Structure 1
């Protein structure tokens, strides 16, 4: 082993707002909150998701451009979960399949709601 996973950093225009979205989506808490930088997770001493302010942020143009990475969020009911993420400011994207639907978070990052 070379190292241990510390976190995933997501570039965005407004870290505080996007952290609020992911806190509700993933059931995480804010463990660090500074101007331009917010970290959410399940505990301060465990890996988390960081949101970093990037002034010139441009979201990928789904499905034409790859986002390189995205969250797959497991849910019990895709329809109910989809309604809830739309209420939080997500928007539905093209694509999906038998077991997943594709959305964009409020900053435009794609993520999938997956049910088996």
Structure 2
């Protein structure tokens, strides 16, 4: 087995049509600090450990089609919350969409952010 490289994850970046709007959505949902805004082409949120969740503008962006796979979801976030019902209400007010397909039953819930990326809420 080859020696392990010393690599540290520093950022995860999502493609979208409007980086500032998507960063604002996740900032409101998570309370993370907004950083590194550039000419509207990129916005990022920084976690306590320094990890940046970035949002970058992509021309002709196509939102994922969840649960179908005509445009695959590519990835998704999972967030732990204390109160699923309260978190759901706040996210829906902030612009999230709750799709009809909810495969998690009472354990977890799927939502779509304003750019169409799926993400899940689970109980803490």
Partner of residue 44, structure 2: 39
Distance 1:34 1:77 in 2: 35
Per-residue CA deviation, residues 48-75 of structure 1 (Å, 9 max, x unaligned), is: 1000001211111110124121111111
| Larger gyration radius, structure 1 or structure 2 | 2
Under a length normalisation based on structure 2, what TM-score does the superposition of the two structures give? 0.86
Under a length normalisation based on structure 1, what TM-score does the superposition of the two structures give? 0.91
- Residue 28 of structure 1, aligned match among 26, 32, 38: 32
Distance 2:74 2:24 in 1: 23
Trace 1:1-116 onto structure 2 (pairs within 5 A): 1-2=4-5, 3-35=7-39, 36-42=41-47, 46-65=50-69, 66-93=72-99, 94-95=101-102, 96-116=104-124
Gaps of 5+ in 2: none
- Cα drift, residue 20 of structure 1: 0.3
Gaps of 5+ in 1: none
Distance 1:97 1:105 in 2: 20
Runs (4+) of structure 1 exceeding 6 A deviation are none
Q: How much is the aligned-residue C-alpha RMSD, in angstroms?
A: 1.5
- Equivalent pairs counted in the alignment come to 115
